[in-house]
Structure 1
């Protein structure tokens, strides 16, 4: 079931892409941490499914 939609989805995608672009500037092992954080924000935005939203009972998707 989709639980990410609207502005929440747009913010996650833009923030994830912005964090991915910062990987160019990060040195060494910081790139791995940056990659993990950016993908954890970007993937729920693209798939419209977030485990944390599900655990908290939140749903920002208008279509059910």
Structure 2
């Protein structure tokens, strides 16, 4: 897997994931588990949704 998520994208995904999980806990909804998706993609620095479109926010090395 080639990384296709850059630093700024990772930070946004982590913050969004934490907020979604927090909202799920606050509202006592299982929808908070959806917050794990952006956190996992940020952790692996790879987004499968970017793949078919050839999108990459990662800097070229």
TM over 0.5: yes
Structure number having the greater helix percentage:
1
| Unpaired segments ≥5 residues, structure 2 | none
* Residue correspondences, number: 60
Runs of 4+ in 1 over 4 A off after TM superposition: none
CA distance in 1, matches of 2:46, 2:11: 13
Q: CA RMSD in A?
A: 1.5
Normalised TM-score (structure 1): 0.78
| Unpaired segments ≥5 residues, structure 1 | none
Normalised TM-score (structure 2): 0.81
